[in-house]
Structures are given as C-alpha cells and as structure tokens.
Amino acid sequence: MLDGFIRVAAASPKVRVGDVDYNVSQTVEFAKKAADNDCAVAVFPELGLTGYTCGDLFLQNALLDKAIEGLYDLAEQTADLNTVIIAGLPFVLSGKLYNVAAVIHQGDIIGIVPKQNIPNYSEFYELRHFMPFEDDGIVMTDDDICFGRAVFSCDGFSFAVEICEDLWVATSPSVDYVKSGAEIIFNLSCSDEIIGKAKFRRDLVKMQSAKLMAAYVYCDAGLGESTQDLVFAGHNLIAENGKILSESKRFANDNDDDAIIYADIDLERIEADRRRSNTFAADNTGYYGVDIIEFDAEFPDITPQRKISRTPFVPKSKDDLAARCEDILSMQAAGLYTRLKAINCSKAVIGLSGGLDSTLALIVTIHAFDKLGLDRKNIIAITMPGFGTTARTKNNSINIAEEYGCTLREIPISESVTQHFKDIGHDIDVHDVTYENSQARERTQILMDVANQEGGIVIGTGDLSELALGWATYNGDHMSMYGVNCSIPKTLVRYLVSYESTRTADVNPSLSKALADIVATPVSPELLPPTEDGKISQKTEETVGPYELHDFFLYYMIRYGFTPSKIYRMALTAFDGTYDADTIYKWEETFLRRFFAQQFKRSCVPDGPKVGTVSLSPRGDWRMPSDASRNVWLDDLKTVKE
C-alpha cells in the first residue's frame, strides 16, 4: 500500500425489487468495474440483493431463501476479483430476521454485520420485519460465518460496517468501531429523498467522518427503489476527516458512470490525526464489545487520483477564501488587540519595506487599532531605505502608510551601516552575509529604539515560511515584540494582501492600487544593490526556491508527519506541468536541510497568534531540539531515486 493510499467505491446499481438474480448480476457488474479500477473495497446499498422496499415480502421464505442463495452466488461470481465487496440482504439467525451487510472477498464470506438501530417512524416501519441486533461481539452462523459487531482487518488497515439508521442515531456503532481501530466506515443505506434531506445527509456524513477521524463511505439506494410512496436518489458520499472527497449526482441513471463513485483514502493522514489527538483512544483489541476479524488480502499500489492542492494553506473556493481571509485578519488583529490592551500600550512601530509581510503586519495593526478605538497616527510606520531599496518598494511603503493615515517616518540606513562596516573592518564592496545582515540588524535597532522613544511595541513582520526556512537575520528581522504573521505562510500572505486590496477598492482606490502592486512585486529582502535600471536584483525564490513548494513541504511534514518520499510523490502530482521531478527533489532537499539547521532561530521567536493548524512556536505546537540530525529524512527522500 504505497504511501497509505487505498481506493474505495460506493455503487448504486439498478435494482428490481424482489428479483435477487437480477440484483446479484448488477452487483457483480459493478464489482468488476471497481476491481478494474484497482478498488480495494466496494460497498453497495442496504438490502441491495433483494431491494429495500419489499415490504411484507420479507416475511416470505421464498425471498429469504433466495437471498441466501444470491449471497453465495455473489461470492462465487466475484471469487477472482481482488476487491472486498460489501452487500446488503435480509438474513435469518436463530429464528430472527436481521437487516445485514455481508463482507465478501475472493469467494469467501468473511463476516456478516447486522443493523443495530431499526427505524419505525414516519415512512419507516422496519420493526414490522427486522430485529435490532443488541449483542456484543460476534456469534457463528450455521455455516460458520462470523455474525455481529466486528472490525475487519486486512493488508495493514481496518474497516467496519454500519447500516443506514446506525449513522443517524446519537450513539452510532461506528463510534465503538473506530475506538477498536477502524479507519474506514462503510454505510449501506436506503435513504429516501425529501426536501432538504440531501444537505442534511451530506453534512451528517462529513461531520461523522470528522468526529471519528476516519473515512466514511456512504452508499445510497438508487432509482430502482422508487416505488409507491417514496423516491430514492442514489446519493453516494465519500468523506475523509470532515472533507467530502467524492459525491454522486443524485437521480442519476442506475447503470451509467454516475452510479458509482470512487475516492482514494489517505490512511496515513487519518493515522496522523489520531496520533496527535490524545483524546482519541483506539486500542485495536475489540474492548468496546467489538471483535476483530482478520483476513488475508493484498491490494495493488495506486497512484492517487484525488486532487492534491498546490496550496494546502489556501481554500480552493473564492467564497471560502474571502471568508477565510476575513477570519485570519480578525484572529491576527484579536491577538494584537489583546496584547496592546494587556500592557496598556497605545502605540505600535512597524518597519515598512514595501513587501508582502510588512504590508500584512500593517493591515493587521490597522484592524487592531480600529478595534481598540485608537488613533491610526499612533501607528508609526518607518521606511528605512538602504543599499538595495528600489523606488517601487519605497513608494509603495509611503503610499500605504499615508493612505491608512499612519505616522510615516523615513530613516535611511546607508550611512550608519557604512560606518558600521568601518567599525568592524568589513569591505563595503564584499556583498556577503555580513553585508546583508548588518542592514537587517540596523533596521531592527532603529525600530526598537523608536519604540522606546514612543512608548510603543515593535510589530514583527516575519511569516511562517521564513521561520521554516530560517530565512531571517538572527536578532534582525527575526526579532520583534509581537509577531502577528508568525503562523501565516507566504502563499497565504499574498492572498490576504490581495483580499485587502479588493476590499478597499471602492472606498480607497489609491490604497487598493498600491496594495495590488505590492502583491505583484517579487519577494526580496532588498539587501543587495538594484540593477542598473533600478529594479530588484535579489529575488528570494531564486535563492531558497519557490515558496509554493516550500509551503507544500511544510504543510504535509508538520501537519501530518508524512515522510519526505511521500511528500515528494504528492508534489509530483500537485505540480505536474509546473515543476519537473528534479526541481521538486532539489527544493525539497533544500527545505529539509534548512528546516533542521535553522531550528535555533525558532527556539526563541517572539509571541504571536496561532491562526491555522500548522505553527512553529516553541511554546505551542512545535518542540524540536536545535541539534537534531536530519539524516533520517534526507535518507528517506533519497529512496525516490532508487
């Protein structure tokens, strides 16, 4: 199972109510489709071998006997498929009739799971025919098949099954199943359609997967069950930890491609979330009245077909992005608001470079001051032109400070840094790290001293991506009194500034224009002299690599603990057509080397608000020794070249 990816399917073939032979043939047809698509597990609707809407026909021996015959026919006809099949049927045990799901693999009936919660309200009257299963664990049928509450384990992962109403009740069986180690829950359902139910169903599946930290595969009955008073739509859903991965088109024709959906579940992602949450208790022993059924299976490695976003920190939907930007700015401002109020401080000092990070820091400070009811003139924005400052960035700094109504100060640093070079005996024509860092430290000294003069605090501008790479001058821009951007990655900074530009377009076109130009400016510390025509010569991404790649590496390494080799293969998919394999490898190796080497800078960063799931604060989410070896991670990355 390469990288923990496994493909699952939910299929709603055409059903003829009461026609078991036909229903079995349709199930076999879709099972073969799933197998041809390298699917490990395929689930079918509730009572799919007979049809759900049989009514009192469920009390007829002819139908019940035929259902058992159909079960064995299904097992025999799929014996050559390397796909687990989960199908629904009525089943008699010890004189009681149960609504069950049968788990089948390569001709063997591995186990039978009964429905535990039997609805008998509104349009449902299942208690007329079926008994609820209320025992713990499993018993054996006359044919020595495991029957009862069970988790199935094979090929390094575990799954469980519940049936329709089991999801809708307050205490779903799936709660016990995940506590017993199940990572995927399959639900066989026959849920009729009424107005508003589709959204409720979608939200329910999504939230159940989030609550369980699991994948949830929901398979609904299709049009063939639409008889007499009810309509069924075949609303299939596959969710993973709160996110819908795949959803069928409702009211699709039973035999077209819309009748089966697929998704590639990332089991390692599920396991990572469970590991990091100490309140999630899974013991894998069946302690919760659930038995573990193990069987042999080996599924093919797959190349995941799920879409992998290039920018995992950024929502895909424009509407979601706007709402997310507003939330983030509000959280950043709330953190600064609280700090200013707690220390009874009414002034802030910010170094404005005309770049993205300092612009975002100013935007956040504006929001905080407005929330506090403080005069924006108490925000002292300082532009400090040096050897590499261009007219474009300097003018943008001035423009946004003036348009926001801040106090603007210009303090050139060239003279003071030149004197410093004389003091330490450094040749000004040698453009090395000393040449660059001396400028950064001079700027920080100015900001700190002005803050002392004014009785204010220095607002940090550095972002999460720079912290990860160590792309900051130690005790230079690395330091401040409160870092508002500390958990904002560079890819998200750009969207936040763009959002502010759009938001202010109508009320302040000049400000909006300046913000838009800042977004379009190449990322640069501007510590080296500009080109002859006055343009930026030092472009950060040419030195350390593209931030969209580094943010990708950062997200999956810190959020889920994925191996470098898995992250590399995911990046190949996500950035297909943008970066070739060698480029991705080069910059991931750079990321790993820098991430480990620069931990000492992260060990002493200033306070700042956590706004996302990834943070590198040594007081919060990330505790790492500064001298840890990186060899294990680099060696794992090398395996992709073998």
Catalytic residues: 46, 115, 164
How far separated are the first and last CA of the chain, in Å rounded? 18
Burial 410-443 (b: 16+ CB within 10 A, else e): eeebeebbeebbeeeebeeeeeeeebbbbbbbbb
Query: Rounded to the nearest 10 degrees, what angle do helices 631-638 and 581-597 cross at?
Result: 170
Structure-block tokens of residue 615: 């943070």
> Tokens at residue 109, please?
């009936």
Total H helices, total E strands in the chain:
20, 20
For 463, residues 6+ apart whose C-beta sits below 8 A from its C-beta are 357, 360, 485, 486, 488, 489, 490, 493
Residue 471 CA to residue 552 CA, distance in Å, equals: 17
Alpha-carbon gap, residue 480 to 364, rounded angstroms: 15
Q: Which residue has the tokens 């802030």?
A: 348
Residue 605 sits at φ, ψ, to 5 deg, of -80, 155
Angle at 219 between CA 217 and CA 224, to 5 degrees: 170
Structure tokens at 13: 């073939």
Which pair of tokens denotes residue 282? 């899974």
Q: List 10's β-bridge partners, or say none.
A: 43, 261
Which residue, 245, 168, 276, 200, is CA-closest to 10?
245
Tokens of 217: 């595969």
Q: What is the DSSP string of 403-435?
A: HHT-EEEE---HHHHHHHHHHHT--TT--SHHH
Q: Measured between alpha carbons, how far is 148 from 150 in angstroms, rounded to an integer?
A: 6
With beta carbons less than 8 A apart as the criterion, state whether 363 and 500 touch. Answer: yes
- Tokens 């992998």: give the residue: 308
Query: Whole-angstrom Cα distance, residue 562 to residue 269?
Result: 8
- E strand intervals along 208-305: 215-219, 237-240, 243-247, 260-266, 291-294
Alpha-carbon span 277 to 241, nearest angstrom: 13
